[in-house]
Structure 1
Amino acid sequence: MIDEWDCLFREFQQDCNAQKKYLDFLRVWLKDKDYVALAYMTGILPIKKYGSHSALNMFTEYSMTDPGDLAEYFGFTEQETSELCEKYEMNFDEAKKWYDGYHLMVHRQMGNEICSIYNPKSVVEAMMRHKFGTYWNQTETYEALKIYIQMDMDGLKDSVIRMLAGEGVPVNVGTFSNDMTTFATKDDVLTLLGHLGYLAYDSVNETVRIPNKEVSQEYVNAISTMNWYGVAESVEDSRKLLESLWALDEEAVAAGIEKAHDEMH
């Protein structure tokens, strides 16, 4: 068993020579060896490819873009999260808003089934602290997200804006080189963000979107420190408009809608 097999690719992103040696070592060590009954590797990134071929083509891969029949084990299922909310006296609808959004396809004998997966780290923190919030950024910071979305290749900025508005955007996950440095198109960046958990992938419609409130907050944090001033202001205006709506403040709602209408024209 090898945990975080891709650590070298994430921690030493620019050292291509070391990465190649590492993959060659794994291939020589594991491939077609009589002493290996089963090799089990976990990590964020899929197995690195050399051109059109994989250096480790003897593995069956399960990922965020193609989870297969292991999808329900990638996190807490909706039923498990509901039971935890009942046990710890937390509001399930609120938990769904904060931590749901990863809808993975499970392959069954009777047909495919969509499974809602919740971030286990965040759900556990929310239950133990008895408070919903952004707990994912204790392991990942918005700076990591900022690096990728500020590339803005092929209109990435527009795609992020659309996703912040709740839309899904088309993506081709087939061009991804399975590392964190080789980006030829916007699709490569979006695919990486899907593997990192910053986006949820819809394999049926081949689109990605921001999964939930917790992750959306990470995008807001990242954008607030970038030169996307218009976007940051629009996000903040949307937040204020929603708060006014829930507060039944009709004057503030009317002013917010009028401002949005003026900006659109």
Structure 2
Amino acid sequence: MDEVKEYLKYNIREIREDVIKMVSGEEIDISIKEEFRAGQAAPRTKKEIYSAMIILGFLSYSDGYLKIPNKELMQEFEKALEDESFGYVAEIIDNSKKMLKATVSEDTETIVKILHDIHNSEIPILQYNDENSLACVLTLAYLSARDTYRVEREEKSGK
């Protein structure tokens, strides 16, 4: 995990943003054709880094989608992102813990404030009222809920 933390810390090729998405339960759509081999120099490209993480067992790759394969690794990635050196990312995780606490205690003022802050900081103006964007806001807001609860997105209705 130390090597993974280094990739996240220096945000090599936007790895950190993808990991945040994966920690929130999303899959990353990417085509990985190159293979990182053990004993080579350190991976330099985004695909080499992902390939190394797949080989090391930190990520799984199937049908063009990359994801964190299990709850235990999800928690390890969350811990890595909580490091204060990640600044804003650590703040998202901290706010997520506050959001869960506010929800359980029915503190609507705190819930509204956190949702408003995430929505304004993470969603571009052109997608402000988009359903997928709003689902992402809720996913980020309740990121820490995955430690205690089973979090699932709503089922598609086909309409």
TM-score of the superposed pair, with normalisation by structure 2: 0.61
Say which structure is richer in strand: 1
Q: 1:247 to 1:178 in 2, by over 3 A?
A: farther
Preserved CA contact (<8 Å) 2:9 2:86: no
- Alignment pair present for 1:222 and 2:80: yes
Please give the alpha-carbon distance, in whole angstroms, between the structure 1 residues aligned to 2:70 and 2:97. Answer: 15
- Correspondence for 1:169: 28
Alpha-carbon RMSD across the aligned residues, in angstroms, is 2.6
- Correspondence for 1:239: 97
- Correspondence for 1:107: none
Preserved CA contact (<8 Å) 1:171 1:190: no
Q: 1:239 to 1:213 in 2, by over 3 A?
A: farther
- Correspondence for 1:149: 8
Q: 1:143 to 1:177 in 2, by over 3 A?
A: closer
Render the CA deviation track for 1:87-137: whole Å, top value 9, x for unaligned. xxxxxxxxxxxxxxxxxxxxxxxxxxxxxxxxxxxxxxxxxxxxxxxxxxx
Please give the alpha-carbon distance, in whole angstroms, between the structure 2 residues aligned to 1:188 and 1:250. Answer: 44
Q: Sequence identity, in percent?
A: 25
Please give the alpha-carbon distance, in whole angstroms, between the structure 1 residues aligned to 2:2 and 2:84. Answer: 10
- Correspondence for 1:211: 69
Structure 1, unpaired ranges of 5+ = 1-141
Q: 1:213 to 1:238 in 2, by over 3 A?
A: farther
Q: 1:230 to 1:256 in 2, by over 3 A?
A: same
- Correspondence for 2:49: 189
Q: 1:221 to 1:197 in 2, by over 3 A?
A: same
Preserved CA contact (<8 Å) 2:59 2:68: yes
Counterpart of 1:159, as a letter, is: D
Range moving further from structure 2, 246-255 or 224-233: 246-255
Larger Rg computed on CA atoms: 1
What number of residue pairs does the alignment pair up?
122
Match of 2:66, SS state, is strand
Counterpart of 1:154, as a letter, is: R
Render the CA deviation track for 1:126-168: whole Å, top value 9, x for unaligned. xxxxxxxxxxxxxxxx424213333533222221222233221
- Correspondence for 1:52: none
Q: 1:172 to 1:226 in 2, by over 3 A?
A: farther
Preserved CA contact (<8 Å) 2:36 2:52: no
The CA deviation at 1:227 is: 2.8
Structure 2, unpaired ranges of 5+ = 124-159
Preserved CA contact (<8 Å) 1:200 1:208: yes
Counterpart of 1:253, as a letter, is: I
Structure-to-structure mapping, 1:110-129, within 5 angstroms: none
Structure-to-structure mapping, 1:25-174, within 5 angstroms: 142-174=1-33
The CA deviation at 1:233 is: 0.5
Preserved CA contact (<8 Å) 2:9 2:85: no
Q: 1:254 aligns with which of 112, 131, 137?
A: 112
Please give the alpha-carbon distance, in whole angstroms, between the structure 1 residues aligned to 2:122 and 2:32. Answer: 32
Say which structure is richer in helix: 2
TM-score of the superposed pair, with normalisation by structure 1: 0.40
The CA deviation at 1:247 is: 4.3
Please give the alpha-carbon distance, in whole angstroms, between the structure 2 residues aligned to 1:234 and 1:190. Answer: 23
Q: 1:174 to 1:262 in 2, by over 3 A?
A: closer
